[in-house]
Amino acid sequence: MRNCDCQTPDYDEESGEETWNDDIVVAHSSINCCECTHPINAGEKYRHIKGRWDGNWSTYRMCLSCQTVSDHLSKKLDICHCLGELYDELINSDVLYTLCQEEDGGTIYASDESWLKIVDHNNLRCEVYASH
């Protein structure tokens, strides 16, 4: 699924420091994506990541649209973003740029990438064009 160095954690079997499970599952109830915060409705597939990093257990639920954006971004920039920080990574890269600042504090973003489509500016969300 992922092509980055964090695909396989540096797992120490004696201390059990790093471990995770990464699956595609079906939502039993409505939840929010850890990246775009938009809802993942009951019955929809999503990426479920549960693991222990630095001794703490965490669970992340990522919609498949954000997973696809993440995969494309990781491939383009040869990086792996931290879970929950996909849009920060997009904004801080050359992939998205600020088109204008709204008076109400909102921001309008743009991208020159042919594979990326911005679908919501109020609560930033992107998708990958189907042809790519």
CB 46 within 8 A of CB 40: yes
For residue 56, being part of any structural domain is answered with yes
What is the pLDDT at residue 1? 40
For residue 100, being part of any structural domain is answered with no
Number of domains in the chain: 1
For residue 75, being part of any structural domain is answered with no
pTM: 0.80
What's the pLDDT tens digit per position in 102-128?
887 788 999 999 999 999 888 889 999
What's the pLDDT tens digit per position in 44-99?
999 999 988 777 889 999 999 999 999 999 998 888 888 999 999 998 888 898 88
Longest dimension (CA), the chain: 55
For residue 79, being part of any structural domain is answered with no
Q: What are phi and psi of 8, to 5 degrees?
A: -115, 115
The single residue listed with the structure tokens 């059990």 is 16
For residue 109, being part of any structural domain is answered with no
- Take residue 61 and report the two structure tokens written for it: 């639920």
DSSP letter, residue 58: E
**Domain that includes residue 55, residue range:** 5-64
What is the pLDDT at residue 3? 40
For residue 36, being part of any structural domain is answered with yes
